[in-house]
Amino acid sequence: MAQKTLLTQRDCEVTLSRLCHQLNEVHVPWNRTVLVGIQPRGSQLLKALVAQLEAEFGTGPIEHGLLDITFHRDDFRRRDEPLTASPTEMDVLIEGKRVVLVDDVLYTGRSVRAALDALGDFGRPQRVELCVLIDRRFSRELPIQPDYSGRRVDALNHERVRLNWHGDQLESVLLESPEHAPEH
Amino acid sequence: MPRNTKLHSRHLLGLQHVPAEDLHLILHWAGHFKEVINRPIKRVPSLRDITIANLFFENSTRTRLSFELAEKRLSADVVNFAASNSSVKKGETLTDTVNNILAMKVDVVVIRHADAGVPQFLADRVPAHIVNAGDGTHEHPTQALLDAFTMQERLGSLEGKNVVIVGDILHSRVALSNIFGLQKLGAKVAVSGPSTLIPRAIHELGVEVIPNVDDALEWADVANVLRVQHERMDRAFFPSVREYHARYGITMDRLKRLSSVPLIMHPGPINRGVELTSEVADSPYAAILNQVENGVAVRMAVLYLLAAQSSTHDVV
């Protein structure tokens, strides 16, 4: 397994801080915005963003929720491994609000499509935006682009982006590739 | 979190041969679907390319409604069939009826029939997934699963819990599925009721008989009270309904004498004033309406997990 560091701990701090500034610039005073993390991997980034916004930007409590998209995915019965679901915790009203979907990595865009669909179960937001830490920009299968992105990377399909969390702290972001690339 | 992610069988015919890990898997997913059916919009698109036929050769209200709701909330296409207004009346055989329906490209068949073993018979002959919605006095697996789910919701893990099934065990498919399922989930199961309505060989299943219902309620963490099935009784099993109620009916007076009141469950429909008084059925001790709600979630889990087994490449 070959590894490449995309973001060091210092980079992570700078990037998260920049995402917070950008979100805050658009959404202040935060009374009409809901942050929604896509389960399972968007939840930790969501927590980190909410914590930093509330602590350093004086936003007051930010409404947020966690959305599981399992039942809206388009690869059910089309993959070998069965799907597993995570809890949905949407104790917020999104009707008429500005929703920011939060996920760690934007890859094919299919998770985001499923999330848009799943979000519809909870109401009709006034607008939906997308915030991701890593944007794998050349891998899109659907016309979906982020509004806020931490870092754009060019990665091959067999490579994996991995976020290393230590508790609530993002320590590094790695790009992992198997020793033997699959032949195409 | 269950270790396995797939069911071992293509069908759900009964709980007798379902491994415990599959039961845990179904109950785990039922939790997710319970969250889904409490959303403002209760429908998810998972089964939108699946067609399900509900074949009810025997009357049913809540089970049929519950299956139909579960199917619709998963966005499956649903066709309904009731024996009373079908070609069965014209003398068509069971395999012919089902093969005709399958020729219309159905992926899952939910079947209720008055004869035990019909779901197994179909599973051996037709390529669809078969779900048993009650076969004679044999099994009613989804009812037992929703009972187990409701018990878990109220009591936590069933490991070491005492469950007594009260009443007409002899004619009950719910009792048999409950016994198989609950024992696999680690509960101890006993039965109580008139000796004429308790099968003689019940102890072979590892089930204790507690003849006195007050002793049974004292022992139990859960009392699953069954309906007296007058329609299946071909002779007099007890002298009168009044006497049955006096000796085995669950009343508030009975519950008040206990050191702790067990959770009261009933698969419905209730004969009010026979096996349960209205006072008990409508009390906070009863989980009867929770059972009905959980029934939809559990059936969604069963259908979802069965459908997940066949990929679009090998759909019949």
ipTM entry: 0.77
* b/e sequence B260-287, b meaning 16+ C-beta within 10 Å: ebbbbbbbbebbeebbbbeebbeeebbb
What CATH number corresponds to the domain at position A34? Answer: 3.40.50.2020
Task: Report CB contact under 8 Å: A77, B311.
Answer: yes
Q: Is B5 on the interface with A (CB under 8 A)?
A: yes
Domain boundaries, chain B: 20-140+293-314, 142-289
The answer, yes or no, to whether residue B316 has pLDDT greater than 50, is no
- Mean pLDDT, to the nearest integer, of B17-44? 94
The 10s digit of each residue's pLDDT in B127-169 is: 899 999 999 999 999 999 999 999 999 999 999 999 999 999 9
Domain range enclosing A143: 11-73+86-158
In this model, does residue B3 exceed pLDDT 80? no
Burial class (CB in 10 A: 0-12, 13-18, 19+), A11: middle
**A61 within domain boundaries:** yes
Which pLDDT does position B315 carry in this prediction?
Answer: 41
Confidence of residue B312 (pLDDT cuts 50, 70, 90): low
Same CATH topology for B20-140+293-314 and B142-289? yes
Q: What is the pLDDT of residues A86-144, one digit of tens each?
A: 889 999 999 999 999 999 999 999 999 999 999 999 999 999 999 999 999 988 999 99
* B314 at interface of A, judged by CB pairs closer than 8 A: no
Collect all residues of chain A within an 8 Å Cβ-Cβ radius of residue B5. 81-82, 84
Contacts of A85 in chain B (CB under 8 A): 29, 32
**Domain tally, chain A:** 1
Q: Do B44 and A121 touch (CB under 8 A)?
A: yes
Across residues B243-251, what is the average pLDDT? 94
CATH architecture of B20-140+293-314: 3-Layer(aba) Sandwich (3.40)
Interface check for B126 against chain A (CB to CB < 8 A): the answer is: no
B45 neighbourhood in chain A, CB within 8 Å = 71-72, 117
CB–CB of A117 and B45 under 8 A? yes
State mean pLDDT over B243-269.
95
Edge to edge, the sheet with strand B129-135 lists B77-82, B51-56, B108-113, B129-135
Res A181 pLDDT > 70: no
Architecture of domain B142-289: 3-Layer(aba) Sandwich (3.40)
| Average pLDDT estimate for B191-210 | 94
Contacts of A82 in chain B (CB under 8 A): 5-6, 308
CB-CB contact of A97 with A33 (8 Å):
yes
Span B23-41, mean pLDDT? 94
Q: Do A77 and B49 lie within an 8 Å CB cutoff? A: yes
Q: Residue B40: pLDDT above 90?
A: no
Calculate mean pLDDT across residues B170-180: 95
- The CA-based angle B71-A68-A174, given to 5 degrees, is 140
pTM for this prediction = 0.88
Structure tokens at A85: 């679901």
Residue A78 lies in a domain: no
Question: Strand, helix or coil at A6?
Answer: strand
* Tokens coding B151: 């018990």
pLDDT of residue B229: 85
